[in-house]
Amino acid sequence: MMEDLVATWEVPLSDGLHKIEFEHGTTTGKRVVYIDGKELLRRDWMFKLVGFEAFRVGKAKCLIKIDPVGGFAYGYSLEVNGKSHHKFTEAQSKVMRTWVLQLDGQQFRVVLERDTLDVWANGRRLDAEGVFVDDGSETHFALGDHPAHIRASSSGNRREGIIHNLIVDDQVIPEAAE
């Protein structure tokens, strides 16, 4: 029902964009954590209204902090892997490239982890094969019955670094802004 919903965050991970919701009943002492709409953790009748709740989303360690902000008001913050939600999201945008596309009536969310070169689609790590080409490298895999690859090539600019393009059925797919 979520009548005591006090905070919501979106956390970009390799296996998907996860929505974390937090309920805090300040009269009942209730604390409930939802991940993607499913209840993960519930505590009723907590007499201490401040503190924290620790849990995991996939491989990520999360911590919701409940702090007093004066009177009977509370502030809520999320840490992911020891970083503030903002700093974690910023770091993820540097190591992940994400594309969203429709194929045969199905939506695909494709993620490249730049640090490991793992490729994910809709939350599953794909079998992918890397090959070197004239101007860089390509990582080949399939999305359903469609051949796909991510081409990594130099931008020619040190600041910009390597450019990653997803190509499906010989079409370049624009990167998603998450």
User: In this model, does residue 27 exceed pLDDT 80?
Assistant: yes
Cα–Cα distance between 42 and 65 in angstroms, integer?
15
Q: CB 62: neighbour CB atoms within 10 A?
A: 23
CATH of span 96-173: 2.40.128.180
CB 122 within 8 A of CB 139: no
Phi, psi for residue 26 in degrees, rounded to 5: -75, -15
Domain ranges of the chain: 5-81, 96-173
| Average pLDDT value for the chain | 92
Tell me the pLDDT tens digit for each residue of 109-141.
Answer: 999 998 888 999 998 999 999 999 988 899 999
For residue 124 the two structure tokens come to 């599953």
CB 34 within 8 A of CB 46: no
**Mean pLDDT along residues 78-90:** 96
CATH class of 5-81: mainly beta
User: In this model, does residue 28 exceed pLDDT 90?
Assistant: no
Cα–Cα distance between 10 and 20 in angstroms, integer?
6
CB 97 within 8 A of CB 109: no
Q: Choose the most confident range, by mean pLDDT, from 20-29, 44-53, 80-89, 169-178.
A: 80-89
Q: pTM for this structure? A: 0.80
